[in-house]
Structure 1
Amino acid sequence: MAEGLPGEPEPDLTAGGRVRVEERQIPGPYGAPDITVLILKPTSAPSPVAGIYYIHGGGMVMGTRRNGVESLVSYAAEGLATVVSVEYRLAPENPHPAPVQDSYAGLVWTAQNAEALGIAPKHLLIAGTSAGGGLAASTALMARDLSYPVLSHQILIAPMLDDRLETPSSQMLDEAGLWDREENRMGWTALLGSHRGESEVSPYAAAARAEDLSGLPRTYLDCGSSETFRDEALDYAHRLSAAGVSVDLHMWGGGFHSFDSIAPEAQVSQTSWAVRDAFIRRALTERPPIHT
């Protein structure tokens, strides 16, 4: 799930007419403004399909519902999934808990409207990239804790999980590559203000703060070996596995943040895309796991 780059042409989200593209205003969290979702629905599908609920990246401070969603078009075009991409409020104008509350509100709406969207109600995946990966992880925690909706999988691509900035990888990049330690500090401070790094930060803001990771859905998680989020992603995968969650973890040697979109022709990018795509296709076509 790559992030679109400035100046790139708008992708054809209709896939030549095989996907119906719609935008809707839906209820936001209680007392908050409505939010917008982008819906990619197969124009023809023989039966209810899986749903992919997508949360875009952008360091908590930028991006829209359209960023990165082009990487999911093929699943709708092939009749494998309906995609719903949420536009959440951005920090610093809207600090925590606004982004995760919007993300959860959109997920609840998707589940409640599964039949109208052509989604099998027990076959709903959550996915996100970078900050969206962090929000996807936190939203999955919220869904587990509130017992709704049940998610079959979570797909976390180079997720932004930990506000403490204490790991070696969170400190190793200084004006090098994409999203170095100062940019990371800026993003987390925009979200949390003076509370960044303090002990009371909620796991719904920074999923790495969660003490209990049991009961979460099967997880795909990947990252590059040369990016700020490397260590927090590896630790989260380890803790998920220790909590009994099935985890597919991939760390791509030499990969920097968003390497697969910035250098799509590189062999490591093509391999990472192929492995991720294979997992998603299995997740969309297999019978969803039963969570107890």
Structure 2
Amino acid sequence: MSNPLLLAKLRPLGSYDAAAAFDLRRVIFAAMRDVLRKNRILFAIPVNEDAVDTYFASLPSIDLTRSIIFLKRTKPLAAASADGNDQELDAILEKQHNTNFKADYGSLPFWRLIILEASGSSNEFTASFIYHHAIGDGVSGMVFHNAFRAALETASLSAADEAGNEGEGTVVPGEDIAILPPLEELHPLPINPTPSAPPAPELKQWTGGPIHAPCESRWSSLHFSPSKSQAFFRVCKDKSVSVTSGLTSIIATALFGILPPTTEAITCIIPLDDRIKGPRPIIDPTLTSLVDLFLLPEELDLDLMRGTTVSSEENEATAFVYNADTVVQSAPHLEHVEHHLPGPDGNDVILSIFKPKQPTSSNLPVVYHIHGGGMVAGDRFSAVTELLGLLKDVECAFASVEYRLAPETRAPGPAEDCHAGLVWLSQHATSLGLDAAGIVVLATPVKAQMLLSPMLDDRCPSVSDQQFEYGSPWSGVSNRMAWTHALGDDRATDRVTPYQAPSRAVDLANLPPTYIDAAECEVFRDPAVLYAMNMWRCGSTCELHIWPGAFHLFDGMDNPEVPLIHAAIVAKQTWLGRIMRAVDLDQ
């Protein structure tokens, strides 16, 4: 298993009366104690790593004197190499990559921190964090970098006051911090029972040569001067390619020159996105390990978005498993009835209603669900299981509407389908045992509405649209493509009405009580804030939540071990419970 690596050239930020008052070792130890106590995974070691029943165990303590290695440069970096390469650091990193984490197994953690002190400086150093891939991925390295840097700043500010105090070298895990449970314990993970056969590879891809044990890794870094880097940036700009693409092409060309002539393809993965130009909020450290699970292609793939794949043998779509049966399996106290009703343009609208099998009332409030998916994907069963979890303590019915999707049906067609279902539900509520005046729209007589990461503005002009143009779940690129699917050439023109893009509405007076929920690190953040502000300006009531450090869909599954996710879930449950209780009082 490969060892990820994080490098950072750092200088603690404390101010000191004299150089002698600063003790780098003490500052590093203090910073690492803080990082360790906040990140329980750094105490974890894999057990039975090569078996099917592998699991994590926690070290009872970590001895920093054995896990942090202090080294001193033999000469200044500027004089070490004429070409700018750091040969001294390269030699250290090569040795580290060939050092097995299983040495002293059970007493040492699966990470090491190398502090390479600059020659002639008491507080400048290069930190190299080497860690086993079982406890973190590339994003985890950035989480450590940010946490370690913040802890260094705090520790260095108090270093002078603690002169002469070596500080403890042994750290024990915090009682209030736990390792997250396995994903399969948090989500049912439904799997398509009849998946399509994987497509045959079109090109012969290089997958590397055979690896024989014992294996010895080599390490070499390349240094590019500022002038050469700037020249490369200009060439990329002249050729209308990104720096990432240009760098990938250069590496691939160099590799093709030494690989066997039968090699037809190389896959390059470079965790660099030079398209992100300005500052933007960072993902909360407790969520970074999840963000990759939610990334979607920036160029929208409707088959992928709609959960279908095309069989190479039968050339027909096969849907993933989300249907009424999976919903009822997760909520066995409910029963499902499907209704077909006349919709606009002569098409049928399907309404799935889930009700308690043994209700205590013949006049139940009802949640009317309009599923997400950017108007181009999803169906009436999308996210229903998760949303029913928000209502676990509320006796109510749950109605979910199937609406036509873009680009096959342009806006406002999908909204008209949703409206037709809402009108039918209100008209037939009594015969269905429902309260027509107690309808809560989850997406007017309507009691209230809940808008979760709402897609409001087709013009996409906001700061959050620009900040998350690339490199985030449901990026700005995806958002504009979805709006174009929905509106065609009318997008971002005066021909768009408020019924197609709600942010176009000027008068938001007399709307029902509204809950709006969005993440800080997503394109929908600013339009949601502006919509709430417009509601308040017009005298309507709105409860707005912007979750700091969160990304689109971050709370798709509850996890009490992640405070931010759990807080978002509880906020929705609390609001829905309050609204539903108000419905009961009105009856």
Tell me the TM-score normalized by structure 1. Answer: 0.85
Q: Displacement of 1:258 after TM fit? A: 0.6
Does residue 218 of structure 1 match 2:513?
yes
Does residue 55 of structure 1 match 2:55?
no
Does residue 276 of structure 1 match 2:575?
no
Task: Name which of 199, 224, 227 aligns with 2:494.
Answer: 199
Does residue 232 of structure 1 match 2:527?
yes
Q: Is the 8 A contact 1:161 1:232 kept in 2?
A: yes
Residue in 2 aligned with 1:242? Answer: 537
Residue in 2 aligned with 1:179? Answer: 474
Residues 152-203 of structure 1, C-alpha deviations (whole Å, 9 max, x = no match): 1010011000000100111212331211111001100001001100022111
Q: Is the 8 A contact 2:450 2:516 kept in 1?
A: yes
- 1:176–1:42 distance in 2 versus 1, CA, 3 Å: same
Q: Is the 8 A contact 1:19 1:43 kept in 2?
A: yes
Which is greater in Rg? 2
Q: Is the 8 A contact 1:19 1:76 kept in 2?
A: no
Matches within 5 A, 1:64-143: 64-74=379-389, 80-128=395-443, 143=444
Q: Is the 8 A contact 1:152 1:217 kept in 2?
A: yes
- 1:226–1:78 distance in 2 versus 1, CA, 3 Å: closer
Q: 1 CA distance for matches of 2:410 and 2:509?
A: 27
Q: 2 CA distance for matches of 1:20 and 1:55?
A: 19
Percent identity over paired residues: 35
Q: Displacement of 1:84 after TM fit? A: 0.7
The SS at the match of 2:346 is coil
Q: Is the 8 A contact 2:355 2:398 kept in 1?
A: yes
Residue 110 of structure 1 aligns with an amino acid whose one-letter code is L
The SS at the match of 1:286 is helix
The unaligned stretches of length 5 or more in structure 1 are 129-142, 144-149
Q: 1 CA distance for matches of 2:585 and 2:506?
A: 24
Q: 2 CA distance for matches of 1:157 and 1:289?
A: 26
Tell me the TM-score normalized by structure 2. Answer: 0.43
Task: Name which of 131, 143, 151 aligns with 2:446.
Answer: 151
Q: 2 CA distance for matches of 1:158 and 1:196?
A: 20
Q: Is the 8 A contact 1:45 1:79 kept in 2?
A: no
Matches within 5 A, 1:17-56: 17-29=332-344, 31-47=345-361, 48-56=363-371
Count of residues in Structure 1 that have an aligned counterpart in Structure 2: 266
Q: Is the 8 A contact 1:40 1:76 kept in 2?
A: no
The SS at the match of 1:175 is coil
Q: 1 CA distance for matches of 2:527 and 2:520?
A: 12
Q: Displacement of 1:75 after TM fit? A: 6.8
> Larger relative contact order (C-alpha < 8 A, sep ≥ 6)?
1
- 1:74–1:255 distance in 2 versus 1, CA, 3 Å: closer
Residue 346 of structure 2 aligns with an amino acid whose one-letter code is A
- 1:87–1:12 distance in 2 versus 1, CA, 3 Å: closer
The SS at the match of 1:71 is helix
Residue 578 of structure 2 aligns with an amino acid whose one-letter code is R
Residue in 2 aligned with 1:13? Answer: 328
- 1:189–1:288 distance in 2 versus 1, CA, 3 Å: farther
Q: Is the 8 A contact 1:53 1:125 kept in 2?
A: yes
The unaligned stretches of length 5 or more in structure 2 are 1-187, 193-320
Residues 248-292 of structure 1, C-alpha deviations (whole Å, 9 max, x = no match): 1111001111111178553211110001101001111114799xx
